[in-house]
Amino acid sequence: SSSDSVVTLLDYGAGNVRSLRNAIRYLGLEIKEVQTPEDILNADRLIFPGVGAFGTAMDVLNKTGMGEALREYTEKDRPFLGICLGLQLLFDYSEENGHGKVFVYEISCSGFSLNNGSAFLVYNSQCVSVDGLGLIPGVVRRFDPSNGCRVPHIGWNALKFVKHADILEDIGNQHVYFVHSYHATPAISLAAICNFGCIEARGFIHSIPLQSPENDEWVTSTCNYGGDFITSIGRGNVNAVQFHPEKSGDVGLSILRRFLFPKLSFSKKVNGRKASKLAKRVIACLDVRANDNGDLVVTKGDQYDVREQTGENEVRNLGKPVELAGQYYRDGADEVSFLNITGFRDFPLGDLPMLEVLRRASENVFVPLTVGGGIRDFTDANGRYYSSLEVASEYFRSGADKISIGSDAVYTAEEYLKTKVKTGKSSIEQISRVYGNQAVVISIDPRRIYLNSPSDVVFKAVRVTNPGPNGEEYAWYQCTVNGGREGRPIGAYELAKAVEELGAGEILLNCIDCDGQGKGFDIDLIKLISDAVSIPVIASSGAGCAEHFSEVFSRTNASAALAAGIFHRKEVPIQSVKEHLLNEGIEVRI
Ligand code: 1PR
């Protein structure tokens, strides 16, 4: 019937759901937009991709009457798929931008034996929380970096299945893509939160806040990231997942397919249960700029110089951006990054071809797309002012999942270190407030400056593995702007810490000295930065063979490694990098 070819989408306009729309269309369905609460109640099949922050989303849902309709729809067990925040909103409460109530969690524990009797423990933890839809018992909390995990949780994890769910039938041991800072917790066994030494604790926490979080009947899978958290729920026709099926490659598309076409039968795969850590990501990067004919091409520099050293000195041309992005997706890249490398001098919203590249790439690439270059406040030739947030929004609308900021982050960090004041007005703060920290990547372009002694500069210096040309044993890493053309009075270490405080969600760490050299990543630099911050760090610049990837993952705390040249020149396929990592015992998505 015609209703079988339509899915209703609840998009309350808080961010980028373009990726999901692309995935639904790719699977051959039409999308009906929810305009009124009745559209929810009349849906045959509803997808709710929550985006933005919990409190803001609930405000919108409550004001529009959509919240009430969602409650009714899910309570009636109508076909529902929540994604990311669309899972979290089904719970009782969240700590994310709670503005109303202050709860003191009183967690009373029972059901375990202590001195032959039952015991109570009062666990005092203050939480300002905000009400959710309240379909599922439990609280949504922030990941805690003191548990040894980087926040946001970004990347690919395999799931631990605790209960059957039709839509998860095809996952097996394969990884799915997460990006979030908050998570719902399963009914926690007491042993998981209290260290009672000799006491065997096997009870359940009965009240958070004064209400049972016994959501066992809902939980279909979990994952461990500084503790167990809920990765999917399902009961009857109501499903929700914390990860992003629309960004999880083929396996993600199969989850959507199972939800969208429940009547079709698919072959079954056995779901694995092996423990999984967050997989290390392998990212393909496309430096994009116009060549001398004005066509956008993928180029690649040697220490940031992208012009051929021979003949006409033309811009090196390594292919077409949309085609290469599609190729890398099919080859197994975990993410694809576009860097508009002349964005610092050209206004990106004037650069419509770049937006078109994004639009077209995102129609066929179902892993995360990052785009950078030229994100800053700008006044055009007609005197019209654009904020960096407007520039970023245009990138998000065109299909980016994350944006990256280079030069503007350097100026912002310099100012912040001088004044120690968070103005709330910088690009980092504004964009992360609206789109979430996880959507804001800071691209650092440092250059090594050798020193005889670390006390020769006020910036953080390290002892280098390979001494400088005059035998110098130390170096500091100077930040640059405008594609490496200008050095600034701030080090990569100082910048990284400042941007983390300002709300950046990830660092893309290049190194001008290593770029395009194929001699390996700058381990000294990557160690320095990945140990200094608790947000994920992407190592970049210098990969020349598969062994360089295992080296960077075994010797530093980088969460991902990015390369350009070796992939463009087809020297090392992405798949063989992954296989090598797997052989070295490093978890990757295959
Ligand atoms: O300053 O916000 O407009 O952003 C400009 C962005 O463009 C920054 O992210 C900056 O890193 C990038 N960029 C500017 N100029 C260049 C250039 O090459 N002339 N490219 C450039 C940066 C570095 C990596 C490269 C890795 C891996 N290129 O993107 O892909 O070094 O290369 P390899 O594997 O071949 O060694 P703003």
Ligand 1 centre and the CA of 231: distance in Å? 34
**What is the structure's pLDDT at 127?**
52
Domain with CATH 3.20.20.70 in the chain: 281-583
- Whole-number average pLDDT of the chain: 87
Q: Is 287 in the pocket of ligand 1 (CB under 6 A)?
A: yes
| pLDDT tens-digit readout, 531-583 | 999 999 999 999 999 999 999 999 999 999 999 999 999 999 999 999 999 99
CA atoms within 13 A on the CB side of 1: 4
For 281-583, CATH number? 3.20.20.70
Angle between helices 18-26 and 249-260 (to 10 degrees): 70
Instruction: Give the integer Cα–Cα distance in Å for 558 and 474.
Output: 22
Q: Pick from 342, 339, 300: which is nearest to 317 by CA?
A: 300
The model's confidence at residue 172, banded by pLDDT at 50, 70 and 90, is confident
Q: How far is CA 293 from CA 154, 245, 290, 317, 554, in A?
A: 38, 39, 7, 11, 43
The alpha carbon of 304 and the centre of ligand 1 are apart by a number of angstroms equal to 7
Q: What is the CATH number of domain 2-93+144-192+215-260?
A: 3.40.50.880
Catalytic annotation present for 175: no
Residues 469-482 have a mean pLDDT of 97
Asked if pLDDT for residue 106 goes beyond 60, the answer is no
DSSP annotation of 23 reads: H
Tokens of 21: 């729309």
Task: Give the pLDDT of residue 130.
Answer: 82
Indicate if ligand 1 lies below 6 Å from the C-beta of 522: no
In this prediction, residue 138 carries a pLDDT of 85
Give dist(CA 342, CA 349) in Å, integer.
13
Closest ligand 1 atom to the C-alpha of 443? Answer: 9
CA of 181 to the centre of ligand 1 (A): 27
| Given 92, 131, 228, 287, the catalytic residue | 287
Kindly report which listed range (386-400, 472-486, 516-530, 533-547) carries the lowest average pLDDT score: 386-400
CA 455 – ligand 1 centroid, Å: 30
Share of the chain above pLDDT 70, in %: 87
* C-alpha span between 535 and 490 (Å, rounded): 20
Q: Where does 385-485 show beta strands of DSSP type E?
A: 385-386, 402-405, 440-444, 446-451, 461-463, 474-481
429 is annotated as an active-site residue: no
State the pLDDT confidence band at 269, using cuts at 50, 70 and 90.
low
Nearest of 221, 204, 222 to residue 213 by alpha carbon: 204
39-95 residue pLDDT tens: 999 999 999 997 778 888 899 999 999 999 999 999 999 999 999 999 999 998 888
The pLDDT assigned to 450 comes to 98
Ligand 1 pocket mutation pick from 341, 354, 377 by most atoms within 8 angstroms of CB? 341
Helix axes 407-419, 427-435, angle to 10 degrees: 110
Which comes out higher in pLDDT, residue 96 or 190? 96
Task: Give the mean model confidence (pLDDT) for residues 403-418.
Answer: 98
Residue 47, φ and ψ in degrees, nearest 5: -115, 135
Residues 130, 99: contact at Cβ < 8 Å?
Answer: yes
pLDDT attached to residue 139: 85
Asked if residue 564 has its Cβ within 6 Å of ligand 1, the reply is: yes
Quickly tell me which residue has 């109508």 as its tokens.
Answer: 78
**What average pLDDT does this structure show over 411-428?**
97
- d(Cα 222, Cα 233) in Å, to the nearest integer? 9
Residue 264 pLDDT level (bands cut at 50, 70, 90)? confident
User: Using an 8 Å Cβ cutoff, are 239 and 232 in contact?
Assistant: yes
Q: Are 47 and 27 in contact (CB under 8 A)?
A: no
Our mutation pick for probing the ligand 1 site, out of 510, 549, 567, 570, counting the most ligand atoms within 8 A of Cβ, is: 510
Ligand 1 and 344: CB distance under 6 A = yes
- Where are the domain boundaries for CATH 3.40.50.880 in the chain? 2-93+144-192+215-260
Ligand 1 atom closest to Cα of 405? 2
Tens-digit pLDDT profile for residues 183-239: 998 765 333 343 332 233 333 333 333 334 578 889 999 999 998 899 999 999 999
- Is residue 101 pLDDT above 50, yes or no? no
Q: What is the number of the ligand 1 atom nearest to the C-alpha of 562?
A: 27
List the residue whose alpha carbon is closest to atom 17 of ligand 1: 304
The DSSP secondary structure of 195-223, one letter per residue, reads --TT-----EE--SSSS----TTTEEEEE
Look up 246 and say whether it is catalytic: yes
Q: What is the rounded CA–CA span in Å between residue 98 and residue 129?
A: 4
pLDDT at position 436:
85
User: What pLDDT score does 213 carry?
Assistant: 54
Question: Of all residues in the chain, what percent carry a pLDDT higher than 90?
Answer: 70
Q: Answer yes or no: is the ipTM higher than 0.95.
A: yes
CA 378 – ligand 1 centroid, Å: 21
Provide the pLDDT for residue 177.
97
Report how far residue 457's alpha carbon sits from residue 448's, in angstroms, rounded to the nearest whole number.
13
| Sign (positive or negative) of CA dihedral 153, 157, 162, 163 | positive
115, two tokens: 């001195």
Angle between helices 492-502 and 523-532 (to 10 degrees): 30
State the number of CA atoms in the 13 A half-sphere of 4 facing the CB: 7
Contact 480 CB / ligand 1 (< 6 Å): no
Q: How remote is the CA of residue 354 from the centroid of ligand 1, in Å?
A: 16
Q: At what angle do helices 574-583 and 321-331 cross, to 10 degrees?
A: 30
Please report the atom of ligand 1 found closest to the CA of residue 516. 36
Secondary structure letter of residue 247 according to DSSP: G
User: Cα(316)–Cα(298) distance, rounded to whole angstroms?
Assistant: 8
Task: Pick 171 or 480 by higher pLDDT.
Answer: 480
Identify the CA nearest to 431 among candidates 388, 399, 466, 474.
388
- Choice among 183, 206, 244, 568 that is catalytic: 244
Cα–Cα distance, 548 to 521 (Å, whole number): 7
Residue 521 has pLDDT above 60, yes or no: yes
DSSP 272-308: P----PPPPEEEEEEEEEE-TTS-EEEE--BTTB-B-
